[in-house]
Amino acid sequence: MKGLTQRAQLLKKQLVSSKRGQFSSLLINFIQENGQSRYDESVTQTEHALQAADLASQSGAEPTLIAAALLHDIGHLLIDEFSERDNFLAVDQCHEIFGARFLEPYMPAELLATIRLHVLAKRYLCSTQEAYIDQLSKSSKRSFELQGGLLSSEELKTLESEPYLASALKIRVWDDQAKVAGKEVPPLNAYATTLAEVYLPS
């Protein structure tokens, strides 16, 4: 498993001493500066995050889920994992775990759980809805197999006991829809207030 990049380690130090407004700016700047690599064949990492957040916003989701949609794949950026790398999707780097752990001191439990569970949520949807896998992108189908494929009955039972599974499933659906080339959506700065709103430390 990979570790945090130097840029991610610097961000971690900066966040420790940040206040509410600074927290939003630091995260937004990090995504902007590190999210221009390709997420898959259609969009960059930043474009994917913005499309997911816009889908959450357009659905009338609460700020916690909008922020979760924006940040659900931040783990990819923290470990510099993207589609141009030769080893991309060669090994499951558990980006969802990196993302949730990184944000843990600052974000509410529901947001952290949806980030942590969004990979399992894809496996859940594919396991419980026979046609769901057909709508996945090419790269998402590849990662589905790498991440374990269909869930066993025991895994389904365990996942269904998660208190925030319903929220994670919403994030997953927006995640899978947020891969439209050239789609116009609000910029990162549009979410500064949302990020500040869900920031926990006083």
Could you report the per-residue pLDDT of 147-172, keeping only the tens digit for each? 889 999 999 999 999 999 999 999 99
Residue with tokens 């994030």: 171
Looking at residue 149, the DSSP 8-state letter turns out to be S
Window from 39-48, 79-88, 170-179 with minimum mean pLDDT: 79-88
Which CATH architecture describes the domain 6-179+189-198? Orthogonal Bundle (1.10)
pTM, whole model, 2 decimals? 0.91
Q: Using CB atoms within 10 A of its CB, is residue 74 exposed (0-12), middle (13-18) or buried (19+)?
A: buried
Give the long-range contacts of residues 117-122, CB within 8 A, separation 24 or more: 117/159, 117/162, 117/164, 117/165, 117/168, 118/72, 118/168, 118/171, 118/172, 118/175, 119/143, 119/147, 120/151, 120/159, 120/168, 121/165, 121/168, 121/169, 121/171, 121/172, 122/147, 122/172, 122/175, 122/176
Domain ranges of the chain: 6-179+189-198
Could you report the per-residue pLDDT of 85-119, keeping only the tens digit for each? 544 455 556 889 999 999 999 999 999 999 999 99
- What count of residues does the chain have? 202
Give CA angle at 196 (76, 23), nearest 5°: 55
Q: Using CB atoms within 10 A of its CB, is residue 19 exposed (0-12), middle (13-18) or buried (19+)?
A: exposed
Q: What is the pLDDT of residue 1?
A: 46
Angle between helix axes 109-128 and 95-103 (nearest 10 degrees) is 160
Looking at residue 58, the DSSP 8-state letter turns out to be H
Identity of the amino acid at 69: A
